[in-house]
Copies of this chain bind each other. A is one copy, B any other.
Amino acid sequence: MSEERRLEVLRAIVQDYVRTSEPVGSKALLDRHQLGVSAATVRNDMAVLEEEGLITAPHTSAGRVPTDAGYRLFVDRLSAVKPLTRAERTAIERFLHGAVDLDDVVGRTTRLLSSLTQQVAVVQYPSLTRSTVRHVELVPVGGTRLMVVLIANTGRVEQRVVDVGRDLSHDEGAVGDLRARINAAAVSHPLTAVPTRLADVLDAVVEEDRVVAEAVAQALADVAAEDTEERVVLAGTANLARVGSDFPTSLSSVLDALEEHVVLLRLMGSMSALADEDRVAVSIGHENPYAPLRTTSVVATRYGVSGGLGVVGPTRMDYPQAMAAVRAVAHYVAEILDG
């Protein structure tokens, strides 16, 4: 009884089940794979695989279905990297290159990933906390209010309107002075360092502008601190409802979960922590820390310096294909954002 062949059987089961979404029996396996042994032997192997908790039978006299552990083993040891075709690669490149700004890049990436994988795609905006300041702009917007615009090196733009208690509409000098000081202190430093670096600026400004500077510094600190303000974008939720999908009843709870962007952000964060450059993280079914997603799998990775992207789908997922698509898309997006 060879260990090797048993794993071969597991691989065949996973592949067939992913294709057909029906429990696969010993006979059906022989039809579609040359294992060189008889059905009875396959049955013996299956019995062992079941004992090991890698596959399970929905009921007696039905075929077998991979368990979460089975998928895990498949992903870790049995799946070959499935490189994208040249056509796919050029399609990705062409599609992403039409983007005009960061919003557009993120939007296109999301749609692209969902159509490539036929799953729900999740793309996180490049995180502010790990990025640096490219520029800070101050714009009086009528009355005593000032719009503070922060531009990060990733191209992301955040704005806040603050009330500074003083009408600055006609005092371009003071605003310009403050703008220059803030930029001198903050530009090309990490966002997380902004509060401390602005402390010096506060001391330097003249008394009457102190309160203005403080309000602005506060707004910038808010932006930097507010992790919750990180955003994710979804596409392809319709894929969950497709015929042949495996969400009979729980579909609406999965959709609900996907609208909890805060949760998705945490998810992307924890998963991309596991994924180093060019390697994707996979979380299968019950491995998922967030209960409503226990019936789903997530394939994700990091891109560039601080973003995350991936797909969410049923555990019965074409992992090699999804992993290849996620990796390739992450690669191209990083390239575009760097350029």
- Distance, CA A139 to CA B243, complexed state (A): 50
Quick one: which of A72-118 are within 8 Å of B by CB? 100-101, 103, 111
- Asked if A149 contacts B141 (CB within 8 A), the reply is no
CB distance from A118 to the nearest CB of B (A): 11
Query: Which B residues lie within 8 Å of A238 (CB)?
Result: 252-256, 258-259
- Asked if B141 contacts A139 (CB within 8 A), the reply is no
Judge whether A11 is part of the interface by a CB distance below 8 angstroms: no
Judge whether A57 is part of the interface by a CB distance below 8 angstroms: no
Query: Which B residues lie within 8 Å of A243 (CB)?
Result: 249, 252
Partner of A157, one of B135, B149, B251: B149
Query: Which B residues lie within 8 Å of A307 (CB)?
Result: none
Question: A162 — nearest CB in chain B belongs to which residue?
Answer: B100
CB distance from A111 to the nearest CB of B (A): 8
Copies in the complex: 2
Partner of A159, one of B111, B147, B157: B157
Given A134-B141, A137-B139, A141-B135, the answer on whether A160 and B101 have CB atoms closer than 8 Å is yes
Central interface residue in A101, A161, A249, by most chain B CB within 10 Å: A101
Partner of A241, one of B100, B222, B252: B252
Judge whether A324 is part of the interface by a CB distance below 8 angstroms: no
Query: Which B residues lie within 8 Å of A151 (CB)?
Result: 139, 141, 147, 149, 159
Query: Which B residues lie within 8 Å of A254 (CB)?
Result: 238
Judge whether A21 is part of the interface by a CB distance below 8 angstroms: no
Quick one: which of A133-165 are within 8 Å of B by CB? 134-135, 137, 139, 141, 147, 149, 151, 155, 157-161
- Distance, CA A231 to CA B103, complexed state (A): 10
- Asked if B259 contacts A160 (CB within 8 A), the reply is no
Judge whether A288 is part of the interface by a CB distance below 8 angstroms: no
Judge whether A235 is part of the interface by a CB distance below 8 angstroms: yes
Query: Which B residues lie within 8 Å of A158 (CB)?
Result: 101
CB distance from A170 to the nearest CB of B (A): 14
- Asked if B149 contacts A137 (CB within 8 A), the reply is yes
Query: With A155-B161, A238-B258 given, can you name 17 additional A-B contacts, CB distance below 8 Å?
Result: A101-B158, A101-B161, A111-B259, A134-B139, A137-B149, A141-B151, A149-B149, A149-B151, A157-B157, A157-B159, A235-B259, A236-B259, A237-B259, A238-B252, A239-B252, A241-B241, A243-B252
6 A–B contact pairs at CB < 8 A? A100-B222, A101-B159, A134-B141, A135-B141, A238-B256, A243-B252
